[in-house]
Amino acid sequence: MIIDLLLSYRAVECWPEMIDLAKGLAGPLASTAMVQEQLALALNREGKTEEAVKVLDNLVRRHGITSETSGILGRVYKDAAERYRPIDEKKASVYLEKAIESYLRGFEFDAKDAYPGINAVTLMELRDQPNRPKDLIPRISEALERQIASGKADYWDYATQLEIAVLLGEEKTAKSALQMAVATDRETWEPKSTANNLNLIRNARLRRELRSAQEAANAAGAAAGRQQVQTGAGQRAAARSAQRAEQTARRDAEQAAKQKADWVEKIEKDLLAHAEFLSS
């Protein structure tokens, strides 16, 4: 009954109530992996990073590494990275790498559990220079296919399939996985979590494409300026020509980059709309 109440609080995102309930337990139940993992999850949602990490570190010392514990620890570090990104890029990068390490540790512990694996891949996409082991997505996909074939697939399996499709740019597969995911979700925070991951992927790729667009625009402007000089135009005319070429190249590249990500943004909105429907 206590565990049911704890999970009921989680289903409606009552994080303070989860924390109070878990901390108020006594005896063997209080120290179980299930209770401590849910306590850490709730602490993290309340922004209490250090306390959540401490709970999970103690859990690992008592019970050892599991894919579930590693996955929750990865989520704690991932959220910390996002909180620090606007104010301290260096610290955010440290937390990002810790998150990737934790998720990978969970997937290596149990390669049948695709959840920590796909989160590791998603976070690798957030690096300035994204890179991942070539065999990682195929291994995650293999685990996913076995789970779906077993007839026991749940929301997270289809959400993982959706994220893989987005990472690979497979729009049709992504939309099919979305339909299966929203048919099997149970709690409002689930589609919100997936929408957040897709938003991270989309924005990271958009930032890189816009940076490349700026570099290309600078090169186009410089080339236009050189051409004007070579044809005998004055310095002012050359500067104006360079500026126009740079602005045109940047605008075209930005529009192309945003259009490329439109379908992913639409899926994000669909997930958030479904979360809103679940909470109504």
Question: Does this model's pTM top 0.75?
Answer: yes
* Torsion from C-alpha of 98, 120, 184, 13, nearest 10 degrees: 20
Alpha-helical segments (H) within 134-261: 136-149, 155-168, 171-184, 189-230, 235-260
With bands split at pLDDT 50, 70 and 90, how would you rate the model's confidence at 223? Answer: low
With bands split at pLDDT 50, 70 and 90, how would you rate the model's confidence at 222? Answer: low
Q: Where are the domains of the chain?
A: 1-64, 203-279
Query: Do residues 69 and 59 make contact, with C-beta atoms less than 8 angstroms apart?
Result: yes
Please report, as a single letter, which amino acid is at residue 243: Q
Q: Mean per-residue pLDDT for 11-22? A: 95
142-193 confidence digits (pLDDT tens): 999 999 999 999 999 999 999 999 999 999 999 999 999 999 978 889 999 9
Name the residue with higher pLDDT: 233 or 215.
Answer: 215
20-70 confidence digits (pLDDT tens): 999 999 888 999 999 999 999 999 999 999 999 999 999 999 999 999 999
* Torsion from C-alpha of 108, 144, 151, 264, nearest 10 degrees: 130
With bands split at pLDDT 50, 70 and 90, how would you rate the model's confidence at 206? Answer: confident
Answer yes or no: is pLDDT of 93 > 70.
yes
Query: Do residues 69 and 107 make contact, with C-beta atoms less than 8 angstroms apart?
Result: no
72-90 confidence digits (pLDDT tens): 999 999 999 999 999 999 9
247-264 confidence digits (pLDDT tens): 666 676 667 667 777 999
pLDDT of the residue at 238: 54
